[in-house]
Structure 1
Amino acid sequence: MIAAALAAGPCSIARAAVIGGGTIGTGLSFALRRARIGVTIVEADAHGCERSRHWFSKLLDHEVAAGRLTDSDRAAIREGVRWQTGLAGLSSADAVIEAVPENLSLKRSILRDLGAAAPGALLATTTASCDLRSIAEATPYPDRVVWFGLSAPAHLTSLVEVSSCEGTSARSLSQGLALARRLGKLPIALGASPGGIVDRLTQRRNAVCDAILLKGGLPWELDEAMVDFGFAIGPFEAQDLAGLDATYHRRRQGGTAGSGRRFAITDRMVEEGRIGKKAGVGWYRYPGGGGAVIDPLVEDAIREEAHFARIERRAFSQDEMRRCVLAAMVAEASAILGEGVASAAAIDLASVHGLGFPRERGGLMHWASIQQGGEAMETERIDVAAFIATRRIERAWLANAAGIDLADLDTEPASPQLRACVAGWDRRHAAMCEGYALMAVAGEEIWSTFQAQSTPS
């Protein structure tokens, strides 16, 4: 399916409709307009349309203030967006993207009606937790349905995961990949799966982070440990930027595996109104909307929850916390690979461009494969390994942009198409990449070791 979609060629999309003008829908609509695609935002009622207009205007103002848009850009983008209630008048849309809250019955209802309302259009869902098969089954046109996986903020994230549903045609998957490229984003084609690479890795990471807090860690300590590893920001500050409320509501609706007590602290944060930077307070405080400031009240809440759970807290070193988090992420990545959802190269790209995994370490799977018995490489080898790892990510990006199946990066010998793609590179660099790319699929023993360590003791 993926190979056929990559071979299907580009598809033209001139006008799109976005169903739902919330956080994801607003960011996606902005990205569509930046790509000069006309947008219709569909809301349930007039109040929803007005709210969506307000959020869209605030986003435009923010982008102008940040220097990413000029006043003329803002006017041009705003001019190409219209709002409406109901699905009438969408017959001219080339793509319709559902971005409503995580409610399976609502999504099924929308997909059921969209097939006739937008004949011939690509039908995409942005669901992060609902069952894709169930959503696709709701429409008489399952061949037109794809998953278009975006992380918030949708207008800034550089990655889109595109997955087929049961019955999706190669043409529709090709359209989804082409749309992602049209938006200026890196598309990764996945096999049919509940949840994408980034979401699954994020949920596994967050679960372990919550457990570490109960057992003795603090958010700013763990954030510092991950930044020292090479992440731009730590997992708790990242949660503040994305908003803690979205995953909270998904857990409440039963859409996220592992819902329950292990997210006790995160759930308490949301219930107290600490939903992140947009509220001025989350794991950190953000006075005046500025940078993160440590909040002692968070430590008090953590200690209370540990007491309620009868957990005796202990001191964690930064190295110990970091190993726990990375172990959990590698274990989940190993499961994704084993299920055939994505290749090791695709997981590496998603971890770098979707989670901020340090580029110089080559991606999560590559990093895991070059560990020695769970221990980091000797210091004198790190610079060479970082050089090789960065070249691997560049090579994966090049292959993806050229429409080559990323699975080819993990085969030997490489396909003629892939060899032709890298032929123009510096021969020495290409040779180094060829040798080290194979290491990403040779780490079963270290993955088992990491999986055994995937939760704090």
Structure 2
Amino acid sequence: MRVSTSLDIRQVAVIGAGTMGRGIVISLASAGLSVLWLDSNRPTLDAGLSAIEQIWSQQVVKQRISQPEAEANRQRVQAVHDYAALAEVDLVIEAVYESLELKQEIFRALDRQLKPQAILASNTSALDIDAIAAVTARPQQVLGLHFFSPAHVMKLLEVIRGARTDNAVLDAACRLGERIGKVVVVAGNCPGFIGNRMLASYVAEARKLLLEGALPHQVDAVLQQFGFAMGPFRMYDVVGIDLEWRARQLAGEGMEAPLVQVDNALCDLGRFGQKTGHGYYSYPEDSRHAEHDPQVDALVLEISHGLGYRRREISKQEILERCLLALINEGAKILEEKIAANSHDIDQVWLNGYGFPKDAGGPMRWADAQGLPLIAARLEHLQSLFGECWRPAALIRQLIADGRHFFNVQEGEV
């Protein structure tokens, strides 16, 4: 079945009334779209309705919107209590927690209940879109819409193209993203897509540095001095250290990996981050100010020694180089695999979703400015010290041989 060559999205449904669902509903309704909101837990849905009203009220107080605008936004949102109520929507965005089995269950139900031409989207941040699409009879109308939290504030929207996603569906999703004021980047389907796949490499290096000799506040200070909005450990405090911890528990795997042992220990202590007042940092009551906590330093030392690491002094230059080069090498692989159309899209993801310094232009532009021969030489040096994970991506060598840069790579080109 082919979908229409022109799709008009007028009414949208959102499934899930947690933090992400609330932000998505605010984004849609604020842009004038009618939204049906479903959550299997009635108290959670009621709390969500109260939360979005409060946010719009705060925007009125701050004179960002008028009272009539706030009331109009609220009128566009209707709570519903079963899938049958969604039968005529043009698009549904699923925004429940990261469980492939749960998402597949929801998409089976949606496929049965929604009109044939409706688009089904998942807000997954890393799961396989094709595995979600496969449980439906309309894989050509399934794609990912990866919003960033808080969804009504963050500008980035990754639109994830599945193997069978129809071009008209992709175009309609991109137009919707632009309508609600997002910076839209299309990504191919792989674990983590563009942003979170690169983040995994970046964070893994930061975690290795902790075990080898650095401390969380030292790593964050170097990256913030470079220009990041916040370092990786401060970022985890803001997002919630427990999110990945709970996901590992749910999946029943990954809990024993050395790189997550500091995170595990913090979560075992109830230090989930800023929301609990303690994480990698401590936070005074009713404050977002991160304060260095020597107890965390002691915990890092205890865990690294327990894992058999011989700690050493790690320079600021090594911290910066390893984190940035891990990011860039992964970005090059993403370009090789055509997960991103071009290096500009990768830079847009990192500028708008991850706080990369704007004056550096994004990780790929920064790498071009340094010179790819220098990037390759530093990667090869790290490869000689730390192993094959640092081997320069084949694209980097190819571009050097051709006298080209990342920005020269066009869509569909290797």
TM-score tier, shorter chain, comes to 0.7 to 0.9
Q: Answer yes or no: is 1:56 the counterpart of 2:22.
A: no
Match of 1:305 among 296, 299, 303: 303
Provide the C-alpha distance between the structure 1 equivalents of 2:299 and 2:89, rounded to a whole number of angstroms: 49
Match of 2:127 among 130, 133, 155: 130
- Which residue number in structure 2 is paired with residue 252 of structure 1? 249
SS in 1 for 2:364: helix
Provide the C-alpha distance between the structure 1 equivalents of 2:253 and 2:59, rounded to a whole number of angstroms: 32
CA deviation after TM superposition for structure 1 residue 160, in Å: 0.8
Match of 1:77 among 57, 73, 78: 73
Q: Is the 8 A contact 2:94 2:121 kept in 1?
A: yes
Amino acid at match of 2:324: L
Provide the C-alpha distance between the structure 2 equivalents of 1:68 and 1:207, rounded to a whole number of angstroms: 39
1:171-190 to structure 2, matched below 5 A, reads 171-190=168-187
Q: Is the 8 A contact 1:124 1:146 kept in 2?
A: yes
Q: Answer yes or no: is 1:344 the counterpart of 2:347.
A: no
CA deviation after TM superposition for structure 1 residue 279, in Å: 2.2
Amino acid at match of 1:240: D
CA deviation after TM superposition for structure 1 residue 67, in Å: 5.6
- Which residue number in structure 1 is paired with residue 397 of structure 2? none
- Which residue number in structure 2 is paired with residue 379 of structure 1? none
CA deviation after TM superposition for structure 1 residue 86, in Å: 2.0
Change (3 A) 1:123 1:186: same
Provide the C-alpha distance between the structure 2 equivalents of 1:174 and 1:345, rounded to a whole number of angstroms: 19
Match of 1:220 among 214, 217, 222: 217
- Which residue number in structure 1 is paired with residue 393 of structure 2? none
1:275-290 to structure 2, matched below 5 A, reads 275-287=272-284, 288-290=286-288
- Which residue number in structure 1 is paired with residue 359 of structure 2? 360
Match of 1:166 among 143, 152, 163: 163
- Which residue number in structure 1 is paired with residue 294 of structure 2? 296
Change (3 A) 1:265 1:83: same
- Which residue number in structure 1 is paired with residue 113 of structure 2? 117
Amino acid at match of 2:351: V
- Which residue number in structure 1 is paired with residue 93 of structure 2? 97
Q: Is the 8 A contact 2:249 2:255 kept in 1?
A: no
Q: Is the 8 A contact 2:18 2:44 kept in 1?
A: no
SS in 2 for 1:29: helix
- Which residue number in structure 1 is paired with residue 395 of structure 2? none
- Which residue number in structure 2 is paired with residue 335 of structure 1? 333
Provide the C-alpha distance between the structure 2 equivalents of 1:184 and 1:350, rounded to a whole number of angstroms: 15
- Which residue number in structure 1 is paired with residue 36 of structure 2? 40
Can you list the C-alpha shifts for 1:207-264, whole angstroms capped at 9, x where unaligned?
Answer: 2111211212122221111122121222222222222222223333449989822111
- Which residue number in structure 1 is paired with residue 379 of structure 2? none
- Which residue number in structure 1 is paired with residue 388 of structure 2? none
Change (3 A) 1:211 1:63: farther
Amino acid at match of 1:282: G
Change (3 A) 1:185 1:438: farther
Amino acid at match of 2:153: L
Provide the C-alpha distance between the structure 2 equivalents of 1:108 and 1:82, rounded to a whole number of angstroms: 25
Change (3 A) 1:254 1:207: farther
Provide the C-alpha distance between the structure 2 equivalents of 1:298 and 1:347, rounded to a whole number of angstroms: 33
Q: Is the 8 A contact 2:189 2:339 kept in 1?
A: yes
Provide the C-alpha distance between the structure 1 equivalents of 2:326 and 2:406, rounded to a whole number of angstroms: 17
Amino acid at match of 1:26: R
- Which residue number in structure 1 is paired with residue 259 of structure 2? 262
CA deviation after TM superposition for structure 1 residue 322, in Å: 0.9
Provide the C-alpha distance between the structure 2 equivalents of 1:168 and 1:238, rounded to a whole number of angstroms: 33
SS in 2 for 1:293: coil
SS in 2 for 1:294: coil
CA deviation after TM superposition for structure 1 residue 375, in Å: 7.2
1:392-411 to structure 2, matched below 5 A, reads none
Provide the C-alpha distance between the structure 1 equivalents of 2:55 and 2:270, rounded to a whole number of angstroms: 22
SS in 2 for 1:370: helix
Q: Answer yes or no: is 1:439 the counterpart of 2:389.
A: no
Q: Is the 8 A contact 2:140 2:166 kept in 1?
A: yes
Provide the C-alpha distance between the structure 2 equivalents of 1:14 and 1:321, rounded to a whole number of angstroms: 48
SS in 1 for 2:84: coil
- Which residue number in structure 1 is paired with residue 385 of structure 2? none
> Over the residues paired in the alignment, what is the CA RMSD in angstroms?
2.6
Change (3 A) 1:262 1:171: same
Provide the C-alpha distance between the structure 2 equivalents of 1:171 and 1:126, rounded to a whole number of angstroms: 19
Change (3 A) 1:290 1:362: closer
Q: Is the 8 A contact 1:129 1:256 kept in 2?
A: no
Match of 2:146 among 145, 149, 172: 149
Q: Is the 8 A contact 1:19 1:98 kept in 2?
A: yes
Amino acid at match of 2:320: R
Provide the C-alpha distance between the structure 2 equivalents of 1:371 and 1:255, rounded to a whole number of angstroms: 42
Return the TM-score normalized by structure 2: 0.83
Provide the C-alpha distance between the structure 2 equivalents of 1:208 and 1:375, rounded to a whole number of angstroms: 17
Provide the C-alpha distance between the structure 1 equivalents of 2:211 and 2:62, rounded to a whole number of angstroms: 38
Return the TM-score normalized by structure 1: 0.76
Provide the C-alpha distance between the structure 2 equivalents of 1:183 and 1:255, rounded to a whole number of angstroms: 37
Amino acid at match of 1:27: G
CA deviation after TM superposition for structure 1 residue 64, in Å: 5.2
Provide the C-alpha distance between the structure 2 equivalents of 1:238 and 1:442, rounded to a whole number of angstroms: 32
Q: Is the 8 A contact 1:369 1:439 kept in 2?
A: yes
Provide the C-alpha distance between the structure 1 equivalents of 2:292 and 2:328, rounded to a whole number of angstroms: 29
Amino acid at match of 1:24: M
Provide the C-alpha distance between the structure 2 equivalents of 1:67 and 1:279, rounded to a whole number of angstroms: 30
CA deviation after TM superposition for structure 1 residue 370, in Å: 3.1
- Which residue number in structure 2 is paired with residue 318 of structure 1? 316
